[in-house]
Structure 1
Amino acid sequence: MSVFFLGLFFLAISAEAIDTFTIPRGFIRDPRGIPFRVLFATALLSAFSILTGSIWFAFATSLFIVLALVIGSNLKHRMLGEPLVFSDLVVASSFLKEPKFYLHAIPPALLGLIAVLLPLLLAGFAFVSWHGALTNRLAGIVGLSISIGLLHVLLARTTLMPIPRLVGDTKQFGAIPTILVYWHRWRQEPDAAPPPALPAADSVPELVIIVQCESFADPAELNLQPSQLPGLEQARQHASLHGKLHVSGFGAYTMRTEYGVLCGRSEKDLGFRHYDPFLTASQDQGFALPHRLAHLYPQRVFVHPHDLRFYSRDRLMPELGFNRIVAEQDFAEALRIGPYISDEALGQKLKQLASESMKPTLIYAVSMENHGPWKAGRLDAADGAGAYTQHLANSDLMLADLTAMLEQDGRSALLVFFGDHRPSIPGQIEAQPERHTPYTMLRFPRDTENSVQDLTPAELHHAILAEILRAQAGNTAA
């Protein structure tokens, strides 16, 4: 038992020392974060003592995990402008599906170190588990029971971090206390009462096409060499509404923008749920566009040319009210430009769905072509930014093509096109306070109104509903 307490002492001291390197760094960490780190370290040491029967191997493994959390938080802050949060750990399984989404963020030297240490830890785990002492396992059982119980009481009674303030809280308290408290606050967030039903209508726009375009941003806003986006410029000239879309994420977090546009709940309303609103979106299905518009649009189609298991879209989108899913398997023969299905192929699929629709149809599409990582050699570009702007031009062509198709179609329609977030390209496009992307909303047949308004994704949701209801009123008056 004395060895257990000795290991715990060294682990607690080491965890405190390691956590001081968390970015952003405060001059002095708030001491109220210490009990969270100590109890977290105790729980780790105890759990691995139970599994292995070796206190010192449990110490080494626990130290590795604490170090990995801090390094991971710092890498994320460097790439995306915000530290690690509890929801990042929940979706860690995505790493196994598409490791290339994440490996590019890890420096080669660190990757090499992990490649050496991880097999050693696994081999050591197998060896010491076979030879571990029963007394160490029993000490672990006692330690885990006490640490989990005390941590539960501490979280239940804490008054720290009452509102989301991720960067400031990490700077003040450190990575581990912030992860733990934010997870607790997230579990306490109440579900919202569903919104009232939308009114019935005899006539609605026959087509509503909403395109969430991967990493679509105005290159003039990214400090890149100016690139022509004629499709976006033309759309802005003829849009009934356009402007800046103030997304919260940079370089990632597609689901935050997607949730905002689909469900219309602001990040303030979501509270601690806003870091990954898809984790609780099943409780918000009454807010979702396809659910609220089901009585007006018999056909409600979700289109995404990639693996729908990401963010659990395969389960979530039907729950939100879509009654047809067009996914990766429906693009088996489609053109790829770079690693992913092209925006040209996505645009052709949207045109096909529009031409086949015999009833009022709502289509929500999420593009994939311009997904990172971007690096030299992709599309034979000299650097990542060069590859990005080539893909960006293809996204712009898709917007122009969809606009021309709806112009010629003759049916009443609404086209909404927006970027989900800016790209993160280390050394070329870095996180900064300005994170907005462009959006446009075009009505067909066109009218003379052209308004400019900056919106959040949730506000864009309500603007879409207002435009459909406006069309209803216009059709009823006619």
Structure 2
Amino acid sequence: MFDGLLAGWGLLASACAWPIALGLIATVLIERLAQPRPQAIWRRPWAMNALLVCAWAGLFCFELALFQRPAFAAVLATGLLLLLVLISNSKFHSLREPFIVQDFEYIADAIRHPRLYLPFFGVAKALFCTALFFALLYLGVALEDSVLNSVSYAVYWSAWAGLVLAVCLAVQLLRRAVPAMQFCPTQDQQQFGFFATLFAYYWAEQRHPQLTPPTWPMPQPNQGVLPHLLVVQSESFVDFRRYYPQIRSDILSEYDRFCAESLQYGQLAVPAWGANTVRSEFAFLSGLSPQQLGVHQFNPYRRFARQYSASLAAQLRQQGYRTVCIHPYAASFYHRDALYPQLGFDEFIDISAFAPPPAGMPYVDDLQVAAKIGEVLAQATQPTFIFVITMENHGPLHLEQLAAGDAEQVYHGAAPKDGEELTIYLRHQANANRMLAQLRAQLTALSRPATLCWYGDHVPILPKVYATHGEPSGNTDYFIWQTPREGGETIKPHHHPLAAHQLAGEILRSWR
């Protein structure tokens, strides 16, 4: 019996040898297509190259279990890694960051919310990859016989189990040899390779850092009472007038007025570019910097936030505030519905509380959000903290259509070359400006004093505009404003650049 197993294993090994060899060679070449390009394998630590082999071998084992065809399994495993590199390159083109392990969660989100993700990969590319997969599936099954026609089930599954065990043991041993990451995805990928960096980030994410929460300043009464606090995280809000002089200055007239009357304003360094709103969002709510969060900075809501309760909302709730989040999108997105109670919010108002967006607009508009804020404030019987996450200016902007007269309303003279997406962005930004006017009227009509903080979460994705007219720095803009005090002195605004994790502390200090 043992001689039969040995003979069968030898036959199986010979059938798998050339597909494995060619698959590994192809994988090394495929990784060289990744952007930014990893350095050559002979310049990397040996453990990272071994993890590259394990990444391919793990997928090969999975496909082999499904189809029992070594050559077909090798093609599928290599094809899946190629698809991952193509997705990464699309992300790098739009967001200046390669695919990282936290992004696997977005694959499921792309199925549930395709408009937010699929257009950036490309509909044609997605259809081509889908068609190619089914073509390979048909050809692989039709052209290659199952190895179970040549060896017994006992030989096949014992060999398969041995290979899986070897891969798993290798991965566990290599875990100890992985060098420290910088948690700068572009640099880590260049230094260690695309696939090995995925392993390293996954392992790093399993560790929960022991961090000292920020010492929030205690809220102080304004005119004898605690003020309402309204914070608006405005989708993709950036004052692009400093980059593109053809934009009309009055498009943000209300924003300019708020800055002129604010306690302080300026540019805001945010830990996101083009997307990944939760990075800026959690930085504001937690007061923790990207350096403190380490690998958890990329999506703090996956693991870290589930064990973090020292947020601004929790601090204010302890001081007697009612805490409300308003976000005109699905509450389950980024698991906010489960995480926000942990972070100290009493209520989450999501898209179910809003009317459908106006014709031609994909998301709930900013003026609807302003009206909802007014409703919450009108019903408030205690100091209230409202954290707002707007959606109107969320991309993909290239899916929207320009209307007659849009360019004339946002530019001096003719529209800039390749500026269609910028025009659409500015059209939405004009609505954000109208939202600010509405908020001013609501806040100044209250009997309780109020503070308004407004900031952008990241720059918008405008690749054609940036390629033709130059790329912004990545900073957004903010201001902190208080309703005028009766008989109070005129406030001279202070221009002060900040980082997103410093902003909540500045708000609380402004009340002292």
TM-score (norm 2): 0.85
- Say whether 1:386 aligns with 2:406: no
Kindly name which structure, 1 or 2, has the bigger radius of gyration based on alpha carbons: 2
Report the counterpart of residue 200 of structure 2 in structure 1: 181
Q: CA deviation at 1:460?
A: 0.6
1:243 equivalenced with 2:269 (yes/no):
no
2:433 aligned with 1:399, yes or no?
Answer: no
1:48 maps onto 2:67 in alignment = no
Note if contact 2:266-2:495 (Cα within 8 Å) is conserved in structure 1: yes
| Cα distance per residue 1:128-180 (max 9 Å; x no partner) | 9996624444433221211121112112232x243312211212222111111
Q: 2:495 aligns with which of 452, 457, 463?
A: 452
**What SS does structure 1 have at the residue aligned with 2:35?**
coil
Mean alpha-carbon deviation: is it higher for 209-218 or for 42-51? 42-51
Contact 1:201 1:296 in 2 (8 A): no
Q: Deviations over 1:66-96 (max 9, x none)?
A: 1012111111111111111111113321101
Hey, what does 1:474 align to over in structure 2?
Answer: none
* Correspondence 1:177-256 to 2 at 5 A: 177-194=196-213, 204-223=225-244, 225-227=246-248, 228-256=251-279
Return the offset for 1:366.
0.5
Corresponding position of 1:162: 181
Q: Partner letter of residue 172 of structure 1?
A: Q
8 Å CA contact retained: 2:392, 2:428: yes
Contact 1:45 1:140 in 2 (8 A): no
Aligned pairs for 1:252-291 (under 5 A) are 252-291=275-314
Q: 1:461 to 1:140 in 2, by over 3 A?
A: farther
Q: CA deviation at 1:331?
A: 0.4
CA distance in 1, matches of 2:184, 2:352: 40
Deviations 1:97-144 (A, max 9, x none): 111212222245523421311333565788899966244444332212
In the alignment, the residues of structure 2 paired with residue 337 and residue 459 of structure 1 have an alpha-carbon distance, to the nearest angstrom, of 37
Structure 1: 5+ residue stretches without partners: 471-478
Does residue 76 (structure 1) correspond to residue 91 (structure 2)? The answer is yes
Superposed CA offset, 1:267-313 (max 9, x none): 01001111111112434532211111112244111100111221111
Please tell me the residue identity of whatever aligns with 1:148: C
Distance in 2 (CA, whole Å) between partners of 1:448 and 1:417 is 18
In structure 2, what residue type is equivalent to 1:464? Answer: I
- 1:49, 1:210 → 2: CA distance? 53
CA offsets 1:197-232 (integer angstroms, 9 cap, x no match): 875867553311100111111122453731321121
Q: Which residue of 2 aligns with 1:324?
A: 347
Letter in 2 for 1:149: L
Specify the alignment match of 1:475 in structure 2: none
Task: Show the counterpart of 1:421.
Answer: 458
Distance 2:309 2:257 in 1: 35
Given candidates 355, 364, 381, the residue that maps to 1:341 is: 364
Distance 1:96 1:128, change over 3 A: farther
Cα drift, residue 428 of structure 1: 1.4
Q: Secondary structure at the match of 1:278?
A: coil
Kept in 2: contact 1:54–1:128 (CA 8 A): no
Moved more, 194-203 or 438-447: 194-203
The percentage of counterpart residues that share the same residue type is: 26
Q: State the partner residue of 1:8.
A: 20
Superposed CA offset, 1:304-352 (max 9, x none): 0111221111111111111111111100356466111010100011011
Aligned length: 468
Which whole-Å CA distance do the structure 1 matches of 2:353 and 2:147 have between them? 52
Cα root mean square deviation, aligned:
2.6
Q: Deviations over 1:382-429 (max 9, x none)?
A: 822211110011011111221232123242111011111111123113
Counterpart in the other structure of 1:24: 36
Give how far 1:12 is off.
Answer: 1.2
The residue type paired with residue 150 of structure 1 is A
TM-aligned CA deviation for residue 241 of structure 1? 1.3
Equivalent position amino acid for 2:508 in 1: L
- Please name the residue that 1:476 is paired with: none
**1:225-278 C-alpha deviation (Å, 9 max, x unpaired):** 313211211111011011111112111010000001111110010011111111
**Structure 2 unaligned blocks of 5 or more:** 1-12, 408-419
Q: Is the 8 A contact 2:181 2:200 kept in 1?
A: no
For residues 48 and 224 of structure 1, what CA distance do their matches in structure 2 show?
55
Q: Kindly tell me: are residues 409 and 200 of structure 1, through their superposed partners in 2, closer, same or farther at Cα, counting changes over 3 Å?
A: closer
The question of whether the paired residues in 1 share the 8 Å contact of 2:270 and 2:474 is answered with yes
Query: What amino acid is the match of 2:135?
Result: L
Q: Does 1:354 align with 2:377?
A: yes
Letter matched to residue 161 of structure 2: I
Contact 1:247 1:421 in 2 (8 A): yes
TM-score with structure 1 length normalisation?
A: 0.91
